Structure 1
Amino acid sequence: MPNRLFFIRRLIDGAAALLLLNAQPAMAGPYAPYAVTPGETAVGTMLDAATHAPGGDRAAMLASIDALPAAAARADALGQLSPRSYSLLPRLSIQSMDAADREIRSWLAERRSIAIDAPADVPASGDRTITMMLSGGIKRASYKARVDRPEAESDSRSLRFAVDVKPVPGLIVGATLGIDGIDARLDPARRPRISQFNSQIGSYASYSDGRFYVDATAAYTLSEYKLRRQIGWAGFTGRLVAPVDGDGWAASGEAGAMLRAGPVRIQPFAGLHHRYADVSGFVENGGPAALEVAAFRTRSLRGALGARISANATQGGWTLRPSVEAQWQRELRSRPDSRIEARFATRDLPIFTLRPTRLARDAGLVNAGISATWNNRTTFRLGYAGEFGSDRHVHAAALTVGRRF
């Protein structure tokens, strides 16, 4: 009898152990073989590093990846788990800095033309006078998809104010304030758009002796983002949100000559543009795919060569001045964008690294505009600026009003 009871007890214990083993979640994957891009491989390697089977919502998420019928779909799911849609955030800040800088430098070029064309009896140089400028602009940009960098689109509206003085003949010294609101869709395959608000403060200076000129600008930008990231595939969907901010600095220098041929003005020039923008570290909220993303940045140094051509026509007290500008810019840094490090917000898996494809190094820029100046004091200007690279197009328009007191 005791032997029989012992046998029954061993049988019950064995059955219980078997049931307990079957109740444990199975280790899924491996996921790295699903990957196609380096970013997808990094996510897959991170998931494969798990030392215990996942549970709850993450187990359901990973099971849905395993259940996808096509290899391409599984690879894309891994890519969606990465922060690839955030890779262009610093570039949006730099895009705003570029627009502000071009508006200021276009305004300085307009001021030089007014000074050259003014009659001898009009103090157009405005020594020891104050000039104010107000500008409103709109901008639309599109970026083509590259490896580990989805296609992106953005729209923005801006308002800028500047005031300057001429303490001595030929020298302009001024300050500027601006705001820029951006709505961007960082992955057209997903619906949510992120919003970005930029506040900018800067200074500028220009010196001209009538034959040559030098312009310099510098600015600081504070960026505030409201991030939204939508991910989804058959069997799983998630919406992730995070507030974050960032800083940016811009400095530009330009030097050129001022040539005159009758009513035509030609200004060949060369320039150097430094841009820095970062995004602070942040943690997403919204489900098992939420990420903790470390701070990342873009540091750009571009050289530029170009020329401006303008002409004028006078009617009564008005002077009309159409102008056009073309320039070529080249990125001088071999890798301006930093890597992006991230991990799941639960912090139970290793950190993985994303290295998005850099933007094309070369771009052509075109500016065109027409201004109307009344009595060499009040100026209205409507301008267009375009940037064209092999992987991006940016179009901007601005209306500027200036007054010398």
Structure 2
Amino acid sequence: MRHSVCAARAKGDGEVNARLAGSLLSSTSLPALLLAGLIVAAVTPITSGVASAEDFAHNSGDWGTAANWTPATVPNGVDAVANFNHDAPDQGLGYTVFLAGGPYTVGTLNLNATSTSGGYRFSSGVLNFEASGQAAINVQTHNFIPDLDASASFNLVSDTVVTVDAGAHFTADGVISGASLTKSGDGLLTLNGANTYTGGTNLYGGTLSLGNNAALGTGPVYANGGTTIDIQNGITINNDLTMYAGMNLNVGLGATGTYAGQISEFSDPTAIVKTGAGTLVLTNSNSFSSGAMIEEGTIRVTADHALGSGPITLDGGTLQAGANLNLPNVSILFGAAGGTIDTNGFDVSTTASMGDNDTPSGTFTKTGAGTLTVDGFAGNNNYATATDVAQGTLKAGLGTNLFSANSAYTIESGATLDLNNFQQTIGSLAGAGTVNAGVGGLLTGGNNGSTVFSGVITGNGGLIKDGTGTFELSGSSPLSGGVVVKAGTLLVSGSLVSAGITVDSGGTLGGGGTVGVLDAFGTVAPGKNAIGTLTVDYSAQFRAGSTYAVELNSAGLSDLIDATGAATIDSGAGLTVSNIGLGSLVAGTRYTVLEAASVSGTFTLVGDPQVSAFISLSTTSDATHAYIDVTQTQTFGSAGLTPNQIATGAGLDSAASSALVSAVLALPSDAAAQAAFDQLSGEVHASAKGMLLQDSHFLQDAVTARLRSAFGDSGKTTSLPVMAYGEDGVQSVAADTDRFAIWSQGFGSWGGTDSDGNAAAFDRSTGGLLVGADGLAGDWRIGVVGGYSRTSFNADDRHSSGDSDNYHLGLYGGTNWGAIAFRTGAAYTWHRISTSRSVALQGFTDGLSADYDAATAQAFGELAYKTDAGPFAFEPFANLAYVNLHTDGFAESGGAAALTSGSSSSDATFTTLGVRASTDITIGGVAATARGMFGWRHAYGEVTPLSTVAFAGGDDFTIAGAPIARDAMLVEAGFDVQLARNATLGLSYAGQFGPDAFDNGFKANLGISF
């Protein structure tokens, strides 16, 4: 007995459902069905064990030739088995098996050969499939495609299972007739013939590709979960389809395939999945409720129920209308890839709820001419996937809030968002299309995004801006209803001239466009992050608590509200100023910020009107304007604290307008101004003068030491190198030689002066060499001295430094009158000074340098009284020195902070009282001399050096430098060691210590006699 069972599936609980000749059979007893002989379609083919298997052992040939088979018997009969195991050559065409002598009958056909191309082709005849149970075609071949060509046919006398293993492919171009066909296995079965089999088609795995409208015969189709039906281009399938646990419908790229049969579901409903980049057309009203997932390509529907009643999931694919539709589906969901609804020139409506099926990252796109109407109930659609109305119209149904309040909407040019005269809410609005409000209203901005809409909003309805983002309207919209800025910012850079605008307390209105009546409870800020003019084509009112946010610039321009009607400023309406560029504000400037047919009231300036240490703002109004006035509240000089700061500020007050003046005007506080004046003062030039006056003592000390040595007085330096001309020429001699002598003295010192609260601390280091020559003239020793030294100095707190190259020349002489010694001299020093300093203020920097000359002239004298006390020699002394410094004028190189100065002279007088002592000692058998000095130096007159300078275009002002110590303690200590008969090493230290100053110097001398 042969049966036409198309599908059978055993459930996990033992229940079996089967369909026989188009009728559904159901039983809870699997054994009962087996005993009744009803379950004959199974995934694994069943063959009779009666017939033996015959192997086709040749290449191409006739089925009916016994010699082509091993053993040499032609398989032909019920349950006969035919095996094709012979590998086909890699020639592309494979082998051909001719059926012309038939028809032939087999129960099982096994195709097991392997090849990289080609395969067995059945041609020119009929092959019947008949078995005691089910007939079977088993395709285990990989790498080549066996097929049934158009000249041959298969007749399914018995229900036949075609098993195509994974990776294998069988193509049937010829006609298949007879009973049912069951597709099993994960491979591909292609049916291209106009098949006439009537028993139906069962899918248990893999892919069934259909290349003919009648490929599935005349019976129904049953598809198990995980299977795929692939419809080739131009093919229309009319067979009814029943799904079990869902399936895939595939149409390849560039192809359009139609499934016109009715699609239903058997049990365990799972969504039908559309794959492939082509278009699947569904024309029937289908009853499945499991839904559809469109992952690739397009599904075109021409009937309301074409996709059943379940959810539609768009995850990369397109749902396209082929007629006017009213979709009954319960929901439309968007996957991570989003999807498209193409109205395709038709009108489509749906009451489906629209939501996200995954984390929203894609876009829902509405394309095609025609209208998509979303209906249902308020809040029905809550998806966060972005919405792009690219073409046609997206329309709300009959109700409020039918659009998604969570989605960012983009309305492309030529497309329309139609509110249908109801209040609708969307996440945000962008694009260049049209929003038709009708008499409804649009609430946008709740997703806190920032967008630009350059399109048109029409109708008599309203617009509400919500959320923290910025919404810019750059087009001209004839919307005539009210506009409310509830939160965030609304920028009008186009026109809303027909709409009155209310700015709530949490909202901001900006832009440089035109609006209608303005009623501000919140903030109005013309322009878009820049100065701009907002035009009000009627009246404007600023309520108490509102804020007018104004920006000013360096050109004297400001934001402006230009109203054609009356402007009313209620008491308590505030005005703020930002983006000022304070350095550019000029005292006396008036900014016009409101212009109207009439103005009543005055804005209250919010915040501290003192916007810098020197600039203050104020508000005022007249009959048709509101203003901001700029006033300088104090001079630069009045902000100073120290004499130098006050003097520098006064000098800057008289200077020409410059970037420097603007930068100082912008400084936020007196303290900041004082720090700026310290940098600008040029104090280093004054401090350098004091340094040169004070360092004049190095030459004095060297000459005095030479004269003491020459006369053998106490405190003498025995190791001072002295050369004299004798009988054998120039030779090293004792310091107190009677002959003409040449000597030299190296010196080095570092010191500094602490800040006195006006001038900054000043440090310097110096080093040099002096060379002298002298001889006896009666009781006098007369000589000449010259040399070079270099001094480096800095005032770190003033970002200033410099150096001086010094060239020395002088005369000296001395004599003794008994125990009284007299020493005197005069010298002249040329100085070549270089300075550099930097200025860094908020909004201003400058690098400055100067090179100029100076000269020091000095005269000095000393009286000393020599006395001995045992092994000690003492010498009380009194020293007097006068020093005069002349400094040339200079002009600093740099920018607006550069200073100029004329030539100047300054002087100082120093007296020193002290005592020197020395004694000869022996250390470990080595002769040595220990010596020392202690004294007090006093400076007379003005000890603070001054420098008179000026800024470009300004008056002179005088700056004080680091002062010379008026009183200082002097200390010297040294010793000379007789290293050998003709060699003496001398080491000495000299220091000066004042209340806020110090100086340390060391000398080392090695004297060798020849």
For normalisation by structure 1, the TM-score amounts to: 0.82
Q: 1:359-398 alignment to 2 at 5 Å? A: 359-372=964-977, 380-398=985-1003
State how 1:228-243 maps to structure 2 within 5 Å.
228-243=836-851
8 A contact 1:295–1:340 mirrored in 2: no
- 1:252 maps to which of 857, 860, 864: 860
Rate the CA distance shift 1:70–1:116 in 2: closer, same or farther, 3 A: closer
Tell me which residue corresponds to 1:177. Answer: 786
2:676 aligns with 77
**Conservation of the 8 A alpha-carbon contact between 1:222 and 1:246:** yes
- The CA RMSD over aligned residues, in Å, is 3.3
CA distance in 1, matches of 2:745, 2:891: 36
Name whichever of 101-110 and 139-148 sits farther off.
101-110
1:161-176 map, 5 Å: 161-168=771-778, 170-176=779-785
Q: Secondary structure at the match of 2:737?
A: coil
Structure 1 position 284 matched with structure 2 position 895 = no
1:320-335 alignment, distance < 5 Å: 320-333=928-941, 335=942
**Percent same amino acid among aligned pairs?**
24
Distance 1:319 1:90, change over 3 A: farther
- Are the aligned partners of 2:752 and 2:997 in contact in 1 as well (CA < 8 Å)? yes
Residue by residue over 1:11-55, the C-alpha shift from the partner in whole angstroms, topping out at 9 and shown as x without a partner, is xxxxxxxx99836961475312211122222222233345x7x2x
User: 2:742 touches 2:771 (CA, 8 Å); kept in 1?
Assistant: yes
Instruction: Read off the aligned partner of 1:395 and give its amino acid letter.
Output: N
Q: Secondary structure at the match of 2:712?
A: helix
Counterpart pick for 1:219 among 827, 830, 837? 827
Alignment of 1:77-226 (within 5 A): 77-113=676-712, 126-127=737-738, 129-168=739-778, 170-185=779-794, 187-226=795-834
Cα displacement (A) at 1:92: 2.3
Amino acid at match of 2:858: A
Q: Is the 8 A contact 1:298 1:337 kept in 2?
A: no
- Show structure 2 runs of 5+ residues with no match: 1-552, 558-583, 588-614, 616-631, 719-732
Distance 1:377 1:95 in 2: 37
Using CA pairs below 8 Å that are at least 6 residues apart, which structure has the higher relative contact order? 1
CA contact (8 A) 1:147 1:357 kept: no
> Gaps (5+ residues) in structure 1?
1-18
Q: Distance in 1 between matches of 2:736 and 2:996?
A: 42
- Partner letter of residue 685 of structure 2? Y
CA distance in 2, matches of 1:164, 1:318: 31
Instruction: Give the Cα–Cα distance (whole angstroms) in 1 for the partners of residues 734 and 745 of structure 2.
Output: 25
Q: 1:258 to 1:404 in 2, by over 3 A?
A: farther
Asked whether the 8 Å contact 1:133–1:161 carries over to 2, the reply is: yes
Q: Is the 8 A contact 1:87 1:149 kept in 2?
A: no
Tell me the amino acid that sits aligned with residue 329 of structure 1: R
Partner letter of residue 672 of structure 2? A
Q: Is the Cα contact below 8 Å between 2:765 and 2:791 reproduced in 1? A: yes
Counterpart selection for 1:343 from 937, 940, 950: 950
Once residues 113 and 286 of structure 1 are traced to their aligned partners in structure 2, the CA distance between those partners, rounded to angstroms, is 55
Partners of 2:766 and 2:828 in 1: CA distance: 19
Check the 8 A contact 1:378/1:401 in 2, yes or no. Answer: yes
**CA drift at 1:116:** 11
Structure 1 residues 317, 101: closer, same or farther in 2, change over 3 A?
farther
For the Cα contact (< 8 Å) 2:707–2:813, is it kept in 1? no
Name the CA shift for 1:124/1:383 in 2 (closer, same or farther; >3 Å).
Answer: closer
Q: Which residue of 642, 645, 650 maps to 1:45?
A: 650
Does the C-alpha gap of structure 1 residues 116 and 293 become closer, same or farther in structure 2, counting only changes over 3 Å?
closer
State how far apart, in whole Å, the 1-side matches of 2:935 and 2:826 are: 20
| Residue identity in the other structure for 1:301 | T
Maintained 8 Å contact 2:712/2:735: no
Contact 2:891–2:901 (8 Å) recurs in 1: yes
**TM-score (ref. length: structure 2):** 0.34
- In structure 2, C-alpha distance between the alignment counterparts of 1:164 and 1:178, rounded to whole Å: 15
State the alpha-carbon separation in 1 of the partners of residues 819 and 989 from structure 2: 26
Structure with the greater alpha carbon radius of gyration: 2
Query: Contact (CA 8 Å) 2:830, 2:856: kept in 1 or not?
Result: yes
Q: Distance in 1 between matches of 2:680 and 2:735?
A: 60
Residues 139 and 396 in structure 1, CA contact (< 8 A), matched pair in contact too? yes
| Number of the residue aligned with 1:354 | 959
Closer/same/farther in 2, CA of residues 300 and 163 from structure 1, 3 Å limit: same
Report the Cα offset of residue 158 of structure 1.
Answer: 0.7
Cα distance between partner residues in 2 of 1:139 and 1:20: 52
Describe the shift of the 1:20–1:79 C-alpha distance in structure 2 as closer, same or farther (beyond 3 A): closer
Q: Deviations over 1:142-201 (max 9, x none)?
A: 111124321111111111111111233x4221111111111111x212555311110001
Q: Which residue of 2 aligns with 1:35?
A: 640
Which SS does the other structure have where 2:797 is aligned? Answer: coil
2:912 counterpart of 1:301: no
Matched residues in 2 for 1:107 and 1:266: separation? 17
CA contact (8 A) 1:115 1:125 kept: no
Output the CA distance in 2 between the equivalents of 1:192 and 1:401. 38
Inter-partner Cα distance in structure 1 for 2:695 and 2:916: 22
Q: Which string of whole-angstrom CA distances, capped at 9 and with x for unpartnered residues, describes residues 109-129 of structure 1? A: 2333379999xxx998533x0
Letter in 2 for 1:234: Q
Which residue pairs with 1:9 in the alignment? none
Structure ranking higher in helix proportion: 1
Structure 1 residue 69 displacement after superposition: 3.1
* In structure 2, distance between residues paired with 1:159 and 1:83: 31
Structure 1 letter corresponding to 2:781:
I
Relative distance call for 1:298 and 1:383 in structure 2 (3 A) is farther
Aligned-pair distance for 1:89? 1.3
Q: Flag the 1:376–1:274 CA change in 2: closer, same or farther, 3 A.
A: farther
Q: How many residues align?
A: 373
Distance 1:280 1:403, change over 3 A: farther
- The structure 2 residue matched to 1:26, chosen from 573, 583, 586, is 586
Conservation of the 8 A alpha-carbon contact between 1:329 and 1:364 = yes
